[in-house]
Amino acid sequence: MADMDTALKEIMEIDGCIGVALVDHTSGMALGTLGGGKELDLTVAAAGNTDVVRAKLRAMEMLNLSEKIEDILITLDTQYHMIRPLTSRSGKGLFLYVALRRDRANLAMSRHQLRRIENDLDV
């Protein structure tokens, strides 16, 4: 089992990764961040993407969908933004937010690596 800091470092090793945050979607607070910088303010991104997660969960509830969200993908001109709610009991209410450079990232491989890291994460 990997702790939060180790998991964030592993995510930053994904090809094209700009930054990553572990976020509490009830408060919008980032519990941990790595990367970002001038390109991306991860604290602002964490708070803003909390609204995305909340909206999707509300929509699923209104539609009576009992499935779980694997990930939410937002594609921009030059970036991919992936939101992955944690599914473990200890990770309930948390999500990983990852920003990737489109010109360097392999989306399928990035999703695979993120799923593996999430499975090993102990929060």
Distance CA 11, CA 90 (A): 19
User: Residue 41: is its pLDDT beyond 80?
Assistant: yes
Distance CA 81, CA 18 (A): 10
Q: State the burial class of residue 19 (Cβ atoms within 10 Å of its Cβ: 0-12, 13-18, 19+).
A: buried
**Domain 4-120 CATH superfamily:** Dynein light chain 2a, cytoplasmic (3.30.450.30)
Q: What's the confidence (pLDDT) of residue 81?
A: 96
Distance CA 39, CA 68 (A): 31
Nearest residue to 85 (alpha-carbon basis) of 93, 74, 77: 93
Q: What's the confidence (pLDDT) of residue 90?
A: 61
User: Residue 30: is its pLDDT beyond 70?
Assistant: yes
What pLDDT digit, counting tens, does each position of 82-106 carry? 999 987 666 678 999 999 999 999 9
